[in-house]
Chain A
Amino acid sequence: MEQLQPVQSSNASYWTSVTVASFLFGIITFAISLLSNYAMINSEPTGSPFSPIQLIGILACLFGAFGGMLATWHYAKEYEVSIKLGKGALIGFLTGVGITIVTIILSQIWQIIDPDMVENMVDSTVASLEAMDLPSGQKQTLIDSTVQGIKSQQSIGTQLLWGIPINGILNLLTGMIGAKIFGKEEHTA
């Protein structure tokens, strides 16, 4: 009778796990960001650049950092292999990069679906800033820099610049934690 042999960790490809986790966490992270953006657009001016609606973010805080853990869990479950910490770190880092790319692609697609979203966000933030109790000159400077800042935050370059290193590092850490929790005990010399 043929017996199934466990796949060695060096032979098993981790790209499926990275792709699955990147798509799942990329979509959810994008959805949370979209929800937060529309909540901000539809909120009343508060006199602050931040609105209480952003409490949504409290529940989702650091959510995007756990893609690496999902990827290593999927990899360990799929192939029933031991995962060395270095491999867990690599899987996590690649997942972080994948999440950033998926989020950027989805946000570009959303700009076709709703091209006015960024403008509406700018208008909403400006309305909040105008309600602030500041001297008019200072207020105008703040509004100008905020408008420029929001627009630059939405650019692909800025999202790549911050998304890849930060998501990469945090998912690298959760990938290592995942390797430690979900990987079978490794026996290295």
Chain B
Amino acid sequence: MSVKQPSLYFLVLVLLAGVMVVVLGGGLFGQSGAWFLQWQHQAFADLCHQMPERSFWLGGQPMAVCSRCLGIYSGFLAGWILLPLAVFFNRVQAKSVKKILSVIVIINLVDILGNLFGLWQNTLVSRFILGGLATSSAAWLFTGSFFIVNDKHKGESYGAITTGTIK
């Protein structure tokens, strides 16, 4: 297996890991002040509603983003880490991943609207899973962009000297 554009892959990996540390909120660092004033919450204030009842809690503090956003970030990070393994599933074509991604995004939208209009009640875990599925499949769009398997010919004629006419 060889790596293409390793600097970009590792840059994104480091940035994603950094984002994950921030989204886990002040509880990770044992911060004790009012959570809505912590720098982690300020950092994501324009990107997430940060409602505590819709967020996981860590160390007595709500995380800096809601459960769906946490799923989105952690799903992308997990998918990105697993990208080297994705090359072994090289039958998975980009078109299939795009279709899967579209279906999961639509399911997320339906879930948001259904919950908003009171048709059903989603939970922290269901929102986390749906968000995570969307971005882990988005990460798999990059299958083959960073890691490629060096194909070796292993057919039954491998190594044999052929004398016949090639048709």
User: Interface on A for B, CB 8 Å cutoff?
Assistant: 29, 33, 49-50, 54-65, 85-86, 89, 103, 142, 145-146, 149, 153, 158, 162-163, 165-167, 169-170, 172-173, 176-177, 180-181, 188
Contact call B37/A176, Cβ cutoff below 8 A: no
Contact call A54/B49, Cβ cutoff below 8 A: yes
Specify which chain B residues have a CB less than 8 angstroms from the CB of A177 in the assembled complex. Answer: 138, 141
Closest A residue to B44 using CB positions? A166
- Inter-chain CA distance A89–B15, complex, in Å, is 12
- Inter-chain CA distance A167–B46, complex, in Å, is 9
> Could you pull out 14 A-B pairs where Cβ atoms are within 8 angstroms?
A54-B51, A61-B47, A61-B68, A62-B69, A63-B47, A142-B34, A146-B34, A162-B45, A163-B46, A166-B44, A176-B12, A176-B142, A180-B145, A181-B98
- Inter-chain CA distance A85–B94, complex, in Å, is 15
- Inter-chain CA distance A149–B36, complex, in Å, is 9
> What's the minimum C-beta distance from B15 to chain A, rounded to whole angstroms?
5
B48 at interface (Cβ–Cβ under 8 A)?
A: yes
> Of A165, A173, A181, which one neighbours B76 at CB under 8 angstroms?
A173
User: Interface on B for A, CB 8 Å cutoff?
Assistant: 4-5, 8, 12, 15-16, 18-19, 22, 33-34, 36-37, 39, 42-52, 54, 66, 68-69, 72, 76, 94, 98, 112, 116, 138, 141-142, 145
Specify which chain A residues have a CB less than 8 angstroms from the CB of B98 in the assembled complex. Answer: 181
- Given contacts A85-B145, A145-B37, A181-B98, are A162 and B8 in contact (CB under 8 A)? no
> Of A49, A62, A85, which one neighbours B8 at CB under 8 angstroms?
A85
- Given contacts A85-B145, A146-B34, A180-B142, are A58 and B49 in contact (CB under 8 A)? yes
> Of B5, B44, B47, B50, which one neighbours A85 at CB under 8 angstroms?
B5
Contact call A64/B47, Cβ cutoff below 8 A: yes
Contact call A166/B47, Cβ cutoff below 8 A: yes
Contact call A65/B47, Cβ cutoff below 8 A: yes
Specify which chain B residues have a CB less than 8 angstroms from the CB of A172 in the assembled complex. Answer: 12, 15
Contact call B43/A162, Cβ cutoff below 8 A: yes
Contact call B116/A153, Cβ cutoff below 8 A: no
Specify which chain B residues have a CB less than 8 angstroms from the CB of A162 in the assembled complex. Answer: 39, 42-43, 45
> What's the minimum C-beta distance from B133 to chain A, rounded to whole angstroms?
15
Specify which chain A residues have a CB less than 8 angstroms from the CB of B48 in the assembled complex. Answer: 57, 61-62
> What's the minimum C-beta distance from B117 to chain A, rounded to whole angstroms?
12
Contact call A61/B8, Cβ cutoff below 8 A: no
Closest A residue to B22 using CB positions? A166
Specify which chain A residues have a CB less than 8 angstroms from the CB of B44 in the assembled complex. Answer: 166
> Of A165, A170, A176, which one neighbours B47 at CB under 8 angstroms?
A170
> What's the minimum C-beta distance from B42 to chain A, rounded to whole angstroms?
6
Contact call A62/B43, Cβ cutoff below 8 A: no
Contact call B49/A103, Cβ cutoff below 8 A: no
